[in-house]
Structure 1
Amino acid sequence: MSVSSIGVGSGLDLSGLVQQLLEAERAPKQARFDEREESLETEISAIGQLKSKLDEFKTSVDELRNSYDLQGRKALLSHPNISSDDETATGPFTAEASNSAEKGQYKIAIEQLASGSRLESLSAADNGGTAVFNSSSDAVSSTAGTMTFTAGSDSFDINVTAGMSLSELRSKVNAAGEEFGIQASIVDTGTADGARLVYTSDKTGDGNDLVVSNNNAELDKISTVNMDVTAAQNARATIDGITVESDTNKFENVLENVTFEAQEVSSKDALGEFQTSRLEIGFDKDNLKNKVTDFVDNYNGIMDEIKALTRYGASELEEDGALAGDYMVRGIQTGLSNIVSGSVDASALGTLFQIGISFDDDGKLEISESDEFGIGSGQELLDDALDDNFDEIAALFSDSEDGIATKMYEYVNEYTTFGGLLRTRESSTKDQKDLLSDERERFELQMADYEQLLRNKYINLDLTVSKLQRTGSSLMAALGYG
């Protein structure tokens, strides 16, 4: 009799009985497996979530570890005839300062922009009363030759074929000169001057004039020797009355660690004098203030995350957090809190409290807007520190040994780095889940053996009952009850 036919001989539902016994054996163990697996998955997810948040927090703290990034300088400009509210107007120049720039104020005027050189073929008047070229189709030379174009340290050659037209020459110059900023164009004057060839170079600065030479006398008329030349020139400015020049429109380190770039020539007053703009190099207070407030927000964000993960439900209807009461996560919370409340000997400010950062009733950081203790609100304390102790704020966060950001980065890194405490914990929990899968497999093998045992047992019962039923039927028939 096959296993699937159990109960057929006796007519009893022995298969159903076997399934009920199997389910009774399986259910409690299966429930424990499921509960344990759900717990491990929740823990893995929560640890991963916390690790991700801590990684983000570590990145934000890392930006505060470099004092250079915190000691920003800002170039403030005030141009005549331009309102400070007009954000679209740039004025005669723009400026920026590196973090090493010294504070100061300067009066600057742009008197001349840097420009490249320009060469034009002669007008009819300068060419004996005859146009050099009547049209762009005129040939530039009856014989072949080579032309050399040089501007500063850049140089290239083009070959001129016999009978090449002026427009063909223009195209050839443009193709070869594009990478050097040299361009040729043709102006059809519609006058006795005919078509005039123009070369331009974007190589600015005194001494960087475009020079066009050749090895064929016929080409002299389109070379520097017989063309009108507008020389390249430097940009020129005055700083507090001192004249300065640059071969480009950008003035770098004329003022140490400051760069300003000329956009246009400064306007003149009624006496014909150039009007000066004011450049002030000061602390970039707005940028540092944003970094400080971002730090407060990021710290509170990680505290909110920890609180949500470790909370205990206030009632039976409210679920506990995924890591309720977890000692490691509580330890992270305490460690971070101790760092932000600690002192920094390397900074004259000493603590975050001196720049207006304090703990609220929920243990989170705040920069208060109200004055509770008669010493000024958090916002006022921060503004005062930005005015009076700008660089000390940087030391408060970024000192290489004592800085708050430095300590926080190192502390969080112990948990999030490869091989760190959280990553090790996450790996261990995943290993436990793998072991649980192995236990499930072993349990299924045990249940398979148990099922076979039950089936063997009830097969014998089925056969016995079936035999008794046949004997009973025979007796009944012999006694005439059939």
Structure 2
Amino acid sequence: MTIQSLGVGSGLALDDLVRQLISAERTPKEQRLDAREERVQDEISALGQIKSKISAFKDAVDDLRTDASINGREPTITHPSEDIEIFSAEATNTALRGSYDISVSQLASGSRIETADAAFTSPTDAVLTDGAGDTTMTFKIDSTGDSFTVNVTQNMTLAELREAINNNADNFGVNANIIDTGTATGGAKLVFTSDTTGTGNDLVIVNDGDRAELDRLTTTDSAETATNLTPVLTAANAKATIDGIQVESETNTFDNTIQNVTFTANKVSPLNSDGVTRQSSTMEIGYDKEGLETKINDFIDSYNGIIDEIKNVTRYGESELEEDGALAGDSLLRGVSSRMATIVGSSVQSSELGGLFAIGIELTTDGKLEISSTDFGLGSGESRFDDALENSFDDIAKIFTDETQGIATRLYDIADEYASSGGLISSREKAAQDNQSQIEDARARLEQHMLGYETMVRAKYLNLDQTVSRLNQTGSALLASLGSYY
């Protein structure tokens, strides 16, 4: 007889026994792999969090490790009215500190040309009807070299010419528009305006074919000796007065009129009560204190974020109920915090301030940085910080940017050493990932082992089941024989 299921022949609970044996074989091995995998996953997660914090810190110190990042100049402008921004300004890091009284008397403008009164009666008037074929008109600015040409066809209307001008692919900033005066004396006027500003940059319109009808629309003939239309508004410079000195610019942007400062005129300054002179705006060029304060506070926050995260993942539980951190006691990460603490507590000889303590940044007992409000006899951290920003801006920069001793310079190197793609933490992450792969391989080997083990155990108990079944059959037959005998 063939046994289809364990225990069927013998009547014993052999299938349950086999499952218990298989579980007893699998469970401890699987639990060890689960525990090992959990530790590795916690390690990878913790390393990723630390690396992220250090990368953010690297960005923060990067904003502090160069003079260009710290010694920014910030123009502060006070206009006659808060509602009107007469001009805006920018300054490079090399701009000299100073205060300037500035007024704008004229904005830069381009030229404007209009056709004569009654030259055309309506937008549908044809501009070329002489039957001599098509021709061209050229629009240009002599001083800049800008130029484009428009085809003028027979019976083209004034409106069609306007569109041909405005839609020309090479148009450098000429706009054509039609103003219909609604009167017989004025008629329809084609108006040309040029975006090219600055004295001497007037728009020139050339009658390339010297067609008489086009004299109504051009400023000169093909030889550029005739005078047809003349600008009703010539191109002009922007004009301003700086501390009583008159200055001009072809555009509304005054670049380096004040060395290393650029200001852009937006509106003409209002007149004083005398109706003649202009009211001045005051522009002060000073250090960007607010920008530096923000960068230093970001530096402190990022530094403290690293310290908190390292403490969290390297802690030992204070009792059996409190779990250890994922990297409890890890020497690599404790080395990070130790090296950082050494740097922020060091002095910088090139700065008269000496170090971070002099600008109000202190190390607390738990290893973090703060600008405290508590005064221990040397002034509070807040007061030292404010005083340094006000009176020792250059020395603050040296504390962070000195090439060999600068706090930000050295901290950036440490952050790069640990958080770069080939850094120490990345190497640890790779090792942990390799360990995770080994666990996956061990799980695959366990599954192969369990398949063989189950086959072996089932074969063993199948033999037992069959043996007991045969004995049961023999016993039953014997009892039946004895029963018939008696």
Same fold by TM (over 0.5)?
A: yes
Aligned: 1:220 with 2:220: no
> In structure 1, the residue corresponding to 2:347 is in which secondary structure?
coil
Match of residue 460 from structure 2: 457
- For the Cα contact (< 8 Å) 2:53–2:302, is it kept in 1? no
- Provide the C-alpha distance between the structure 1 equivalents of 2:471 and 2:169, rounded to a whole number of angstroms: 112
- Provide the C-alpha distance between the structure 1 equivalents of 2:449 and 2:138, rounded to a whole number of angstroms: 93
- Tell me which of 282, 287, 296 is aligned to 2:286: 282
Q: Name the % identity.
A: 52
Match of residue 90 from structure 2: 96
Mapping of residues 12-31 of structure 1, within 5 Å: 12-31=12-31
> In structure 2, the residue corresponding to 1:5 is in which secondary structure?
coil
Aligned: 1:136 with 2:123: yes
Aligned: 1:195 with 2:185: no
Match of residue 355 from structure 1: 359
Mapping of residues 11-410 of structure 1, within 5 Å: 11-80=11-80, 82=81, 86=82, 88-90=83-85, 92-123=86-117, 131-143=118-130, 144-151=134-141, 152-176=144-168, 179-191=171-183, 192-214=185-207, 215=209, 216-224=211-219, 225-229=227-231, 230-271=233-274, 272-371=276-375, 373-410=376-413
> In structure 2, the residue corresponding to 1:226 is in which secondary structure?
coil
Match of residue 223 from structure 2: none
- Provide the C-alpha distance between the structure 1 equivalents of 2:423 and 2:59, rounded to a whole number of angstroms: 16
Alpha-carbon shift at residue 463 of structure 1 (Å): 2.5
User: Over the residues paired in the alignment, what is the CA RMSD in angstroms?
Assistant: 1.9
- Provide the C-alpha distance between the structure 1 equivalents of 2:428 and 2:38, rounded to a whole number of angstroms: 17
- Normalised to the residue count of structure 1, the TM-score between the two structures is 0.93
- For the Cα contact (< 8 Å) 2:3–2:9, is it kept in 1? no
> In structure 2, the residue corresponding to 1:344 is in which secondary structure?
coil
- For the Cα contact (< 8 Å) 1:348–1:392, is it kept in 2? yes
- Letter aligned with residue 323 of structure 1: L
- Letter aligned with residue 118 of structure 1: R
- For the Cα contact (< 8 Å) 2:123–2:188, is it kept in 1? yes
> In structure 2, the residue corresponding to 1:137 is in which secondary structure?
coil
- Tell me which of 468, 479, 483 is aligned to 1:480: 483
Q: Sort the Cα spacing of 1:457 and 1:296 in 2 relative to 1 into closer, same or farther, 3 A.
A: same
Alpha-carbon shift at residue 172 of structure 1 (Å): 1.3
- Provide the C-alpha distance between the structure 2 equivalents of 1:253 and 1:369, rounded to a whole number of angstroms: 43
Q: Sort the Cα spacing of 1:349 and 1:469 in 2 relative to 1 into closer, same or farther, 3 A.
A: same
How many residue pairs get aligned? The number is 468
- For the Cα contact (< 8 Å) 1:121–1:226, is it kept in 2? no
- Letter aligned with residue 189 of structure 2: R
> In structure 1, the residue corresponding to 2:284 is in which secondary structure?
strand
Alpha-carbon shift at residue 228 of structure 1 (Å): 4.0
Q: Give CA-to-partner distance per residue, 1:24-64, whole Å, 9 cap, x none.
A: 22222221111111111111111122112211221222122
Alpha-carbon shift at residue 78 of structure 1 (Å): 1.9
- Provide the C-alpha distance between the structure 1 equivalents of 2:2 and 2:467, rounded to a whole number of angstroms: 16
- For the Cα contact (< 8 Å) 2:148–2:170, is it kept in 1? no
- Normalised to the residue count of structure 2, the TM-score between the two structures is 0.92
> In structure 2, the residue corresponding to 1:223 is in which secondary structure?
coil
- Provide the C-alpha distance between the structure 2 equivalents of 1:167 and 1:24, rounded to a whole number of angstroms: 95
- Tell me which of 435, 442, 446 is aligned to 2:445: 442
- Provide the C-alpha distance between the structure 1 equivalents of 2:420 and 2:2, rounded to a whole number of angstroms: 60
4+ aligned runs moved over 3 Å, structure 1: 1-4
Alpha-carbon shift at residue 178 of structure 1 (Å): 7.4
- For the Cα contact (< 8 Å) 1:177–1:183, is it kept in 2? no
Structure 1 portions without partners, runs of 5+: 124-130
Alpha-carbon shift at residue 226 of structure 1 (Å): 2.7
